[in-house]
Structure 1
Amino acid sequence: MTTDSTIEPTPNDCSQERRFSDFGTFGEALDYAASGTLGLNFHDARGDLERAYPFSELRDDAIAMARRLVAAGLKPGDRLALIAETAPDFAAAFCGAVYAGVWPVPLPLPTSFGGKEGYVDQLAVQLSSSDPVMLLYPAEISEMTQAAADRQGCKGASYEDFGAGDVPDAALPQSKPDDICYLQYSSGSTRFPHGVAVTHEALLANLAAHGLGMKLQPGDRCVSWLPWYHDMGLVGCLLSPIANQVSTDYLRTEHFARRPLAWLDMISRNPGTTLSYSPTFGYDICARRISSQSNVAERFDLSRWRVAGNGADMIRPDVMQGFVNAFADAGFSAGAFLPSYGLAEATLAVTIMPPGEGIRVELVEEERLSGHARDLARPARYRAIVNCGKAVEGMEVAIRGEGGRALPDHQIGKVWCRGSSVMHSYFRDPESTAECMVDGWLDTGDMGYMADGYLFIVGRAKDMIIINGKNHWPQDIEWAVEQLPGFNHGDIAAFAIETDTGEEAPAVLVHCRVSDPDERVRLHEQIKDKVRSVTGMNCVVELVPPRTLPRTSSGKLSRAKAKKQYLSGEIEPFKLLEAA
């Protein structure tokens, strides 16, 4: 097996002048990157280098793939579905589709939850929505992926088979900035998928804003384990390094899940400065793997980690503090944290914290977050709201209330954004496009407020639990329960249900690792009391087996799916003693 000792990684720097994504099309961006010596580097489960893949080699492979696609009959505007494994085959196929004017559609790999049939069903729905001419996939999952392709009636082939043989001599079309570059599906879309159509112009505008917002500098190198079917992994950690000319090291997402500290090992080995992003749970997993007896300074050197990005989910300041506590002795600086906010409908980045400012929070009364008056009979409760930074270059952010009324600083409302990187549309879904796009402004579906040019995100509007006219944020309930001993981040899902009496009540599903029946009853009552202290009302508490709560393909808790599975009986809670 080849290791770091026999393969030279692509360098951190080269003589090529950095250009911040100032190209007409993404193909032009790769053409320019290929004229230097930087590139992508793929590592095994232990973090050892398996393959160095210079941008020049990626471009050669992408041109060959483009010619194969044209020879196979694919035309500009056709869709090419790609199972997004973190490997050269996907990178070459994605870029090859772009050169051919074909729209690549990155789709997820199977996960450890959901099972084979669930994965085939998810793929089939997304294939039906994107209507591709062909699906390409890794050979090792050909049975599942071909089943989904057959169900949709599109061609299917493995990357290996499609890329075999001589390269045909086929002329490639010339793309324009306002052409669609690719379709991005959100990680949680299973029943009603929305394919976000992103133009070359929008993509490059966001990539430029991304590079400028992070203040890219000589010596920077990206390290990532994020999946390439998610916007933060695809745009932030694959397309941005190409268009902004940054060498990058990759650990497969499934390898990170098994050996999360390999991510920090890779960062430690980087002789330059590191840029690396993760949702909150990635930092949480790493901190939990370190025991109080561990000497982190002997194993890790995180002193050159310049940008430790946070995004893709609600940012938990307590979890971030836990990471600092665990790795400060290894040189990690809290000032490296870079909170951000974005979504696929804006290509990726909407706001980024200026580098070096770290995590800043405001304590806000939960009554104000929920939009109702303070109950003076109950003690005030506060939630720490994380500052997600300032609007990136070319983007405007506004907070709107009822009827689209603009709200001043510190007033909570819907988050809207407008700019050069907002999506073209939802693919073949004009109704949904019209619902969220008004006069060039995008309704993000998130709630938040502004303060002195900085954005604070409160939660997803669709997740809010409304009972008896009062609003409750599910994360407030979930975070309160997590404070009880024995629970991890992601062990609780809260949502509203209709009870047997026809009234609505909060329901809380909780991963239970206790086997003693009496202890389960005690835990059940403890959780009920905790939720009552937050909401002021009784709730339905269900203890469920560990690893039961569903996740999106990017690892985030899916409350909507948890509710659906619970109501359908697919999630079976533990039965408690009659005395309960």
Structure 2
Amino acid sequence: MTARLQNDAAGQDPAGARNGQAPGPASASRPPVPPPLVPTPNDCPLPRRRSDFPTFTDAVDYAARSEKGMNFHDMRGTLERVYTFAEMREDALASARRLLAAGIRPKDRVAMVAETAPEFAALFCGAVYAGAWPVPLPLPTTFGGKDSYIEQLAIQLQSCDPKLLLYPAEIADMAEAAVQRQGCGGIDWEGFAEKDAPECDLPEARPEDICYLQYSSGSTRFPTGVAVTHEALLNNLAGHAEATDAGRDDRVVSWLPWYHDMGLVGCFLSLIANQMSVDYLKTEHFARRPLAWLDLISRNKGNTLSYSPTFGYDICARRISSQSNVAERFDLSRWRTAGNGADMIRPDVMQNFVNAFAPAGFRARAFTPSYGLAEATLAVTVMPPGEGIRVELVEEEKLSGAPRNLARPVRYRAIVNCGKPVKDMVVEIRDEQGAERADHQIGKVWCRGPSVMHSYFRDEDATRDCLVDGWLDTGDMGYMADGYLFIVGRAKDMIIINGKNHWPQDIEWAVEQLPGFNHGDIAAFSIEADNGEESPAVLVHCRVSDPDERVKLRDQIRDKVRSITGMNCVVELVPPRTLPRTSSGKLSRAKAKRMYLAGDIQPLDLAA
């Protein structure tokens, strides 16, 4: 019967079947061809609401009335799974009932390894329906190996103290090892889906309730979880939708991980609360085939919103050679919002991307710089649509706070405009005494608004340190100009030598200009010498094997850094892939410094 229906559908009934005879053996053995998957639409009759819901569960309920949803693709960009918001809601409600049947109660934490998959989406929303607090945790990376991941997972489990860890079966060995250290329960997704889901009443969420815990990769207090309420989440999602003017025929394409705030909030939760269809690539698939991201954007017939840290644009531009015909492969003409955030935005990288993909229709004004952090749920400022990247050249003396040295030529640094505060958010620049600074005066960035976090989970001291009278101390340095925010760098990363401030980004960027280096190959920080004075140290990935060439490279780097800082520095060449990354893929200077001082990063031997 299956073969007959398949042939009917194909309009190719065998002659024997038309004459009332049984089909021949070849026809009978032919496997059925599944119908082609149809991605969820960009728009549907249900009116769009910009995250104007009292709770996130209300947002899920409303999104499920639409025809929109999530579309999961393989490494080559082939559609593998269509998952409507309606189907996700049904699975989430079943997950909520399973959690309650397993003894999970409101305010309990449910940790879950955040793979980009339908299972995680349903489990996250299911935990929220059950009144529990989902805690997204990272997948293993190629850095550090199995033992390192188990240690990281165990530390985060200890921090959030969950009743249960849910994880994909393929990492069962590592997840179970971490669970045994913590003493909580653990089960893989498939096993959990087989548990009973008896009918029961679900708790009713309130706007002021905690919705989830989010670990901030940029936090100096890692691994403290950021507690985000329903009202904070929805306020930030509404502000982001308004800032990007989310509307008709918009569709999102994303490869960002769901254990980082930009991926979790900006490219998962936001799409539910603002009813937008999305096409997903897994992060590890993007790492192997980054241009598949642009292939997906090219196939989208709607207006595309897609986001990436600087390194995502960088790697795509590097993959394009001068012989590549990008106009034949890509169509980026409908990419209206190319979001950029999560690390320092580099104008040179963005220009390289424009140079590489302008022939495919990419417009520089599509770039949408932004600034945010998990402690503010996600977005603090966003560049208005169509304004693109705007850069100011600032004298380095103004950045460092040192008096102008007339004996040296003026040096400038390009500072990117990160946009205007989102709806209901207020931003101030303050000096060390807490006084507000005027336009173009650099200081600490503070923000206040309904989407600022509730607290750091079970860490009152850390919460008091950064939340003062409703204001959040972001730990970042910047200045305001005509209502726009310019980010200069992280205060905690600043290198202070002889009373002069040096931004590690300046040193790293200078070394990157030497041949053979990529973004993320260099980590700069300060160390204390034997005499108690601080000096800059630079760790550099080295791909050179010849001992003499290594010495030349070290000296070349030292000269380059001296030209920036005016001082000698420690230069250590380390093996490739040695420098640690945060959960979002960014270089972690603080961790690199700790590992170096502890001897966990071993420099390469040099002849001299």
Secondary structure in 2 matching 1:312: coil
Q: Tell me the CA shift for residue 48 of structure 1.
A: 0.7
Which residue of the partner structure matches residue 323 of structure 1? 353
Q: How does 1:281-360 map to 2 (within 5 A)?
A: 281-360=311-390
* CA contact 2:129–2:202 (8 Å) conserved in 1: yes
* CA contact 2:155–2:223 (8 Å) conserved in 1: yes
Aligned-residue sequence identity (percent) comes to: 76
Letter in 1 for 2:339: G
Q: Tell me the CA shift for residue 483 of structure 1.
A: 1.0
Which residue of the partner structure matches residue 229 of structure 1? 259
Residue of structure 2 aligned with 1:152, choices 178, 182, 200: 182
Secondary structure in 1 matching 2:587: coil
Which residue of the partner structure matches residue 286 of structure 2? 256
Which residue of the partner structure matches residue 160 of structure 2? 130
Q: Tell me the CA shift for residue 543 of structure 1.
A: 1.1
* CA contact 2:541–2:578 (8 Å) conserved in 1: yes
Q: Tell me the CA shift for residue 503 of structure 1.
A: 2.5
Secondary structure in 2 matching 1:445: strand
Deviations 1:99-156 (A, max 9, x none): 0100000000000101111111111111111110000000000110111111111000
Letter in 1 for 2:132: V
Which residue of the partner structure matches residue 361 of structure 1? 391
Q: Tell me the CA shift for residue 357 of structure 1.
A: 0.3
Which residue of the partner structure matches residue 535 of structure 1? 565
Asked if residue 56 in structure 1 is aligned to residue 86 in structure 2, the reply is: yes
Letter in 2 for 1:397: V
Residue of structure 1 aligned with 2:151, choices 121, 125, 130: 121
Asked if residue 196 in structure 1 is aligned to residue 226 in structure 2, the reply is: yes
Deviations 1:450-488 (A, max 9, x none): 000000000000000112211110001101111111111
* CA contact 1:225–1:252 (8 Å) conserved in 2: yes
Residue of structure 1 aligned with 2:461, choices 427, 431, 434: 431
Which residue of the partner structure matches residue 403 of structure 2? 373
Q: For residues 140 and 43 of structure 1, do their structure 2 counterparts lie closer, same or farther at Cα, with a shift above 3 Å needed?
A: same
* CA contact 1:81–1:135 (8 Å) conserved in 2: yes
Deviations 1:205-253 (A, max 9, x none): 0000011110012110000000000000000000000000000010000
CA distance in 2: counterparts of 1:3 and 1:487, whole angstroms: 49
Which residue of the partner structure matches residue 22 of structure 1? 52
Per the normalisation by structure 1, the TM-score is: 0.98
* CA contact 1:2–1:50 (8 Å) conserved in 2: no
Which residue of the partner structure matches residue 128 of structure 2? 98
Letter in 2 for 1:121: E
Which residue of the partner structure matches residue 211 of structure 1? 241
Residue of structure 2 aligned with 1:388, choices 393, 414, 418: 418
Residue of structure 2 aligned with 1:478, choices 484, 492, 508: 508
Letter in 2 for 1:218: R
Which residue of the partner structure matches residue 115 of structure 2? 85
Secondary structure in 1 matching 2:322: coil
Residue of structure 2 aligned with 1:497, choices 527, 530, 536: 527
* CA contact 1:101–1:173 (8 Å) conserved in 2: yes
Asked if residue 180 in structure 1 is aligned to residue 196 in structure 2, the reply is: no
Q: Tell me the CA shift for residue 192 of structure 1.
A: 3.8
Which residue of the partner structure matches residue 139 of structure 2? 109
Q: For residues 277 and 390 of structure 1, do their structure 2 counterparts lie closer, same or farther at Cα, with a shift above 3 Å needed?
A: same
Q: Tell me the CA shift for residue 187 of structure 1.
A: 2.9
Which residue of the partner structure matches residue 95 of structure 2? 65
Deviations 1:30-80 (A, max 9, x none): 100000100011110111110000000000000000001111111111000
Long gaps (5+) in structure 2: 1-30
Q: Tell me the CA shift for residue 382 of structure 1.
A: 0.9
Q: How does 1:243-282 map to 2 (within 5 A)?
A: 243-282=273-312
Which residue of the partner structure matches residue 451 of structure 1? 481
CA distance in 2: counterparts of 1:424 and 1:354, whole angstroms: 28
CA distance in 2: counterparts of 1:169 and 1:35, whole angstroms: 22
Q: Tell me the CA shift for residue 517 of structure 1.
A: 1.8
Secondary structure in 2 matching 1:201: helix
Which residue of the partner structure matches residue 22 of structure 2? none
Residue of structure 2 aligned with 1:45, choices 50, 60, 75: 75
* CA contact 2:216–2:222 (8 Å) conserved in 1: no
CA distance in 1: counterparts of 2:218 and 2:47, whole angstroms: 39
Q: Tell me the CA shift for residue 188 of structure 1.
A: 5.7
Q: Tell me the CA shift for residue 492 of structure 1.
A: 0.7
* CA contact 1:4–1:49 (8 Å) conserved in 2: no
* CA contact 2:130–2:203 (8 Å) conserved in 1: yes
Q: For residues 530 and 448 of structure 1, do their structure 2 counterparts lie closer, same or farther at Cα, with a shift above 3 Å needed?
A: same
Secondary structure in 2 matching 1:329: helix
CA distance in 2: counterparts of 1:338 and 1:391, whole angstroms: 13
Deviations 1:318-347 (A, max 9, x none): 000000011111110001000000000000
Secondary structure in 2 matching 1:403: coil
Q: Tell me the CA shift for residue 540 of structure 1.
A: 0.5
CA distance in 1: counterparts of 2:32 and 2:285, whole angstroms: 17
* CA contact 1:312–1:341 (8 Å) conserved in 2: yes
Asked if residue 514 in structure 1 is aligned to residue 517 in structure 2, the reply is: no
Structure of larger gyration radius? 2
Asked if residue 161 in structure 1 is aligned to residue 191 in structure 2, the reply is: yes
